[in-house]
Structures are given as structure tokens and as C-alpha cells.
Amino acid sequence: MVRAIAVGCVVAVCAASVAAVRATASRAGETATRCSTSGLVVWLDTLGNGAAGSVFYKLHFTNLSSHPCTLRGFAGVSAIDLGGHQLGRAASRDRAHAPRLVTLAAGSTATANLRIVNVDNFPAGRCHRTTAAGLRVYPPGNLASKTIPFPFAACSRRGPVYLSTQAVARS
């Protein structure tokens, strides 16, 4: 009988240890989960800084889900018209800073720099200047996008690259 009690206690201790390991692994898994577009608010700080024929803005990704998530790399960004159609070429990637894994706790924000070139710098025939209604933004690693209303001068032709983004970083 003593042996049965001892074996039962060992099994109970093992079961508790396994449960603790699973809980830790689950929390670690939450930390490593990529942020989904549906759990993010994507927004633009419209107070840009102008320099050398361009304006630089901060593109923000705020985690509104109830769990931590990660972002790594570059957002896909393009200008769109009122109908949601892409204007010109999608943003290029400015690789001045290497992408790093950014972990966002619930309620935290990551940032990427967005450069918008003054399209008046391009020949009219190559650019065909128009006004964009906003930006379509794909958070890094996502196939779903968010739209940010933001009118600005854009090129409707695919010639010049007038948008560029840097990798997402901690805010």
C-alpha cells in the first residue's frame, strides 16, 4: 500500500510538472506568434519631416489583441485612389537598417519609417501626377491589408518609385 501511494505521488508530481512545462511552452508560443493584420491598428503620424525633396512619416503598428505577437521585416505599402486601386509602384525597401524581430505586448506599438518623395521631381510624362486617397498597408508577413486615409501627391504611372519603407522597429 505504501508503494502504491508513493507511485501515485510520483505520477501526480510528474503530471504537475508536465502541466507546468505545457503552460510555459504555451506562453512562449504566444510570444512567438506573428501579429495578424486583424489584431493590429495601423496608423500614420501625419506630422512628417521634410528633407531633400521628400517627407518622412512614422507608420505605426499597434497590437490590440489580448496576447503578445511579433513583427519582422518590411510592411508592404502602396498609394491608392478612392476606389482602392493602386497608384504607381509599391514602396521600395530601404535596407539602411537590418530587420529585427520586434515583440509587441498587448497595447504596444512598433514603427516603420515611410518616405514619400515629392512627385513634382519626376517628369510629368513618367509620373502622371494625381492625388492619392490613402495608403494600403500590409503588415510584415501578412496577406491582409489595412487602409489609411491620407491624401497626398502621387504618381499614377508605374515608372518612378516615390514611396519607400524601412524595416519595422521598436517605437
CATH number, span 37-170: 2.60.40
Give the pLDDT confidence score for residue 52 in this predicted structure: 84
User: What is d(CA 76, CA 97) in angstroms, rounded to the nearest whole number?
Assistant: 16
Hey, where are the domains in the chain? 1-32, 37-170
What share of the chain in percent tops pLDDT 90? 78
Q: What is the pLDDT of residue 102?
A: 97
Residue 158 has pLDDT above 50, yes or no: yes
The pLDDT, as a whole number, for residue 4 is 47
Per-residue model confidence (pLDDT) at position 32? 54
As to burial, measured by CB atoms within 10 angstroms (0-12 exposed, 13-18 middle, 19+ buried), residue 159 is: middle
Distance CA 162, CA 53 (A): 11
The pLDDT value recorded for residue 51 is 85
List the beta bridge partners of residue 71. 102
Quickly count: other Cβ atoms within 10 Å of residue 76's Cβ. Answer: 18
The pLDDT mean for the chain works out to: 86
Give mean pLDDT, residues 138-157. 98
pLDDT (tens digit, 9 = 90+) per residue, 93-114?
999 899 999 999 999 999 999 9
Pairwise CA distance, residues 66 & 56, whole Å: 31
Average pLDDT for 52-78: 97
Task: Please indicate, yes or no, whether the overall pTM of this predicted structure exceeds 0.85.
Answer: no
The model's pLDDT over 1-60, given as tens digits with 9 standing for 90+, comes to 444 444 443 444 434 443 333 333 344 444 459 999 999 999 999 999 998 899 999 999
Give pLDDT tens digits for 111-131: 999 999 999 999 999 999 999
